[in-house]
Amino acid sequence: MKLKVVNKSPYDLNYATVDSAGMDLHANIQDEMIIKPLQRVLIPTGLFIELEKGYEAMVRPRSGMALKYGISVLNTPGTIDADYRGEVGVILVNLSNEDYSIKPGDRIAQMVINKYEKATIEFVDQLTDTERGEGGFGHSGK
């Protein structure tokens, strides 16, 4: 899969290690931003991408930011469709009780490329029975 990228930021887009699934996304901002508790902000990356048909880019939180500081991607995972040509932005939310600082160039999220298939939609009057049936959230145990 070839990912075409226009990078209007001074920060590289790459994989941190040989086996990394996600590419680090950096905050393409001029000045420090403070995210207040429970505040959500859209952080620009300066990246514009072109995916091949049948692929999506998923924007995911960085685990260290989530665990240590309560910072997450609000619409996780955020999906970037193959026909989108705008700037990749990251919606961050501060789920902690303290202000969080984002500085220019900080790694704020990761982007993972996935292949997908489109479903053929078939409307029916009833679904096949299973042992689980309609058992939902927490139905199968703790």
52-87 b/e (C-beta count within 10 Å ≥ 16 → b):
eeebbbbbbbbeebeeebbbbbeeebbebeeeeeeb
- In-domain check, residue 10: yes
pLDDT value of residue 59: 98
Q: What total of structural domains would you count in the chain?
A: 1
113-133 pLDDT per residue, tens = 999 999 999 999 999 998 877
- In-domain check, residue 129: no
- In-domain check, residue 66: yes
pLDDT value of residue 132: 79
- In-domain check, residue 107: yes
- In-domain check, residue 138: no
Report the CATH number that the domain containing residue 32 is assigned in CATH.
2.70.40.10
Beta carbons within 10 angstroms of residue 25's beta carbon: 26
Low-confidence ranges of the chain (pLDDT < 50): none
- In-domain check, residue 121: no
- In-domain check, residue 125: no
What domain range includes position 50?
4-115
pLDDT value of residue 139: 66
- The answer to whether 100 and 35 are in contact (CB under 8 A) is yes
pLDDT value of residue 142: 67
